[in-house]
Amino acid sequence: MTGAEALVETLIQEGTLCVFGIPGAQQNELWDTMKTKRLGYLLVTHEFSASTMADGYARSTGRPGVLCVVPGPGLTNALSGIGEALLDSIPLVCIVGDVANGSRNRPFQVHSLNQAALLQPVTKHVFSAQSAAEIPQLVRQAFQLAAAGEPGPVGVTIPYNLLIEAQRFDSGPLEPFGVPYDGQAAERAFGLLSNRSLRVGIYAGLGCMDVSPALVQLAETLQAPVATSMAGKGAMPENHPLAVGWGYGAQGTVTAEMAFKNVDLVLALGVKFSEVSTGYYSLPQHRNLIHVDANADNLGRIMRTSVCVHSDMEIFLGQALMVADHLRRPTNSRLIDDIQRTKAQEARCNADIRSTCGVDPMAFLLALRRLSACDALAFVDVTVSQYWATETFTTSQPRTFFNPTNNQVMGWSIPAALGAQRVHPHRQVLTVTGDGCFLMSAMEMSTAARAGLPVKFFVLDDQAYHYMQELQEPAYKRTTATVLARLDYRAFAMAMGLSYQEICSNGELESRLCGVLAHDGPVLTRVVTDYRNRQVRWIKAAKDKFTKELTRDQKIRFLARIGSRSLNRHPEND
């Protein structure tokens, strides 16, 4: 086989359903071979989408997503999405072409940036093929490493001359990696959990996404309320009586904050306590905290921890359930009633419409949840509404709600949704995008039309970076560089080949959404958004914590500026 044939065979054997990317001179041999061997592929319009579609594929399937890009600009365009996957623990295999090596290497080749050096800071590891014979083995290793422990992206660079070299290849499946389980630490954790005078609360992260039934069983055994991190949303069915939503401080749901006030011991499973998920590290510190994670480097980094357990989540939960009789608490009807009552109050408060000229974003999210399928795949972008969506877009199944959590790369939701739709052709796939995010990746909608991917794109149009305004206004009493263009979305949809809909008032929500969701092709829907009168709990929590950490001098400077600017009744906002 040629190097290209060996590479494609390996991708097929590793279960790849689709490769995302753009061909170039260094990779035409590979794309031609993908076609011959019937490996699925999807042409994107910009390589940011190649990494992000692979990310959407990975999040929705739980399997490594694959992108294939040319060296130089193909790779640098893809970096923001690979970075998101790294910080969000998403497995990707990034096949990056490289300039010729060996006797074909010459100075000044096109795209001759240092590909491995570019990949290094955004991946777990970079494999650089030096000979054609190595290609299949390196690709297998990349798949294995991407999914191992805390998942993440892995790079493979392949000089283009190797793709046409014919070789005998000898590569078989790799021995699976051992999974971590620190049995002694786990025993200490079970000892603490068996103290029935301690009321336990579970905080579940992305590491629990594929062990949902065991998580539910442990929660019922411990009679523990379960909050999730932002990325862990879906690991616990949110319609379960012990589910309290996301976060457990002032940044997440009111129900989670209430339920964890009475908790003596937090059991944190498969979480990192990242800045975004904790509302700028504002989660309350409980006296007892057990932290379990597959990556030892994540343990005890943010919160004071009583016991750290380096463990695979499936094994830890399996072992915990083996000693369930020692951990079991009697049914706590009072807790369950309190959760139910607070959830109902919170839901009533969220359903209260606050906007008058345009659509209330919370009303939109609630209607979208009510009217979409319960297994719909929802992709939410870096809009201020991401926090409301995480609170109110209740999920009853794992791997159905997604957002770019820790790199917060704007424009992520549009390509990520396309990547997921490509491998889930019969599922409803939705995006909730701000108009700023829309401007970053909207050209990718042309791919939806070209490839017949029926994603329903919703853009929250307030002609501004509202998120930035929310951060800037309280501190500076004016806003800078946050006003966006007024777009003709209808014309844009037409140019991209999409159907178009517009929702201009709360009264139209129900009927317009029903129409959009019933449509069998891709639709762009402009939601004329009125952001006034609704607080963002996450921003308040983060701001309070940030302010608390300012030095005395910094506080005085901030307050003096706010004071003098408050006298100006005509702030210059642009």
Contacts with ligand TPP, residue ranges (CB under 6 A): 382-385, 408-410, 434-437, 460, 462, 464-468
| Closer residue to ligand TPP (CB): 257 or 435 | 435
Q: Report, in Å, the least distance between residue 433 CB and Mg ion.
A: 9
d(CA 276, CA 382): 11
Q: Report, in Å, the least distance between residue 246 CB and Mg ion.
A: 22
* Residue for token pair 């989660």: 283
The residue number whose beta carbon is nearest to ligand TPP equals: 434
> Are the beta carbons of 98 and 158 closer than 8 angstroms?
yes
Window 150 to 189, contacts with Mg ion (CB under 5 A): none
Strand locations in 205-312 (E) = 226-228, 243-246, 265-269, 288-293, 307-310
Q: Which of 14, 88, 238, 435 binds Mg ion (CB under 5 A)?
A: 435
Residues contacting 524, CB < 8 A, separation 6+ = 445, 457, 459, 489, 492, 493, 496, 498, 499, 500, 501
Q: Report, in Å, the least distance between residue 409 CB and ligand TPP.
A: 5
* Residue for token pair 């926090």: 387
Q: Report, in Å, the least distance between residue 436 CB and Mg ion.
A: 5
* Residue for token pair 């190797």: 162
d(CA 212, CA 132): 42
Which listed option, ligand TPP, Mg ion, none, makes contact with residue 542 (CB within 5 to 8 Å by class)?
Answer: none
| Closer residue to Mg ion (CB): 390 or 394 | 390
| Closer residue to ligand TPP (CB): 158 or 432 | 432
| Closer residue to ligand TPP (CB): 14 or 530 | 530
| Closer residue to ligand TPP (CB): 52 or 400 | 52
Does residue 530 interact with Mg ion by CB under 5 A? no
| Closer residue to Mg ion (CB): 153 or 361 | 361
| Closer residue to ligand TPP (CB): 394 or 529 | 529
Task: Look up residue 6 and give its two tokens.
Answer: 């060996």
Task: Look up residue 187 and give its two tokens.
Answer: 């025993």
Measured in degrees and rounded to the nearest 5, phi and psi for residue 222 equal: -85, -5
Task: Look up residue 8 and give its two tokens.
Answer: 């494609």
Beta bridge partners of 96: 69, 157
Which listed option, Mg ion, ligand TPP, none, makes contact with residue 410 (CB within 5 to 8 Å by class)?
Answer: ligand TPP
| Closer residue to Mg ion (CB): 23 or 434 | 434
| Closer residue to ligand TPP (CB): 44 or 536 | 536
Intra-chain end-to-end CA distance of the chain, in Å:
60
Q: Report, in Å, the least distance between residue 489 CB and ligand TPP.
A: 13
Which listed option, Mg ion, ligand TPP, none, makes contact with residue 382 (CB within 5 to 8 Å by class)?
Answer: ligand TPP
Q: Which of 153, 159, 434, 454 binds Mg ion (CB under 5 A)?
A: 434
- Nearest alpha-carbon partner for 100 in 92, 90, 112: 112
Region binding Mg ion by CB under 5 A among candidate stretches 72-80, 270-278, 435-443, 565-573: 435-443
Residue type, 448: A
Beta bridge partners of 92: 65, 153
Which listed option, ligand TPP, Mg ion, none, makes contact with residue 408 (CB within 5 to 8 Å by class)?
Answer: ligand TPP
Q: Report, in Å, the least distance between residue 495 CB and ligand TPP.
A: 20
| Closer residue to ligand TPP (CB): 409 or 496 | 409
H or E element in which residue 217 lies: helix 212-222
Q: How many residues bind Mg ion (CB under 5 A)?
A: 4
Q: Report, in Å, the least distance between residue 541 CB and Mg ion.
A: 21
Does residue 462 interact with Mg ion by CB under 5 A? yes
Q: Supply the DSSP string of 397-462, one letter for each residue.
A: SSS-EE---SS--TT-HHHHHHHHHHH-TTS-EEEEEEHHHHHHHGGGHHHHHHHT---EEEEEE-
Which listed option, ligand TPP, Mg ion, none, makes contact with residue 458 (CB within 5 to 8 Å by class)?
Answer: none
> Are the beta carbons of 530 and 483 closer than 8 angstroms?
no
d(CA 228, CA 220): 16
d(CA 79, CA 82): 5
Q: Report, in Å, the least distance between residue 410 CB and ligand TPP.
A: 4
Q: Report, in Å, the least distance between residue 467 CB and Mg ion.
A: 7
Window 15 to 54, contacts with Mg ion (CB under 5 A): none
Q: Report, in Å, the least distance between residue 384 CB and ligand TPP.
A: 4
Does residue 84 interact with Mg ion by CB under 5 A? no
d(CA 511, CA 513): 6
**By the criterion CB under 5 A, which residues form the site for Mg ion?**
434-435, 462, 466
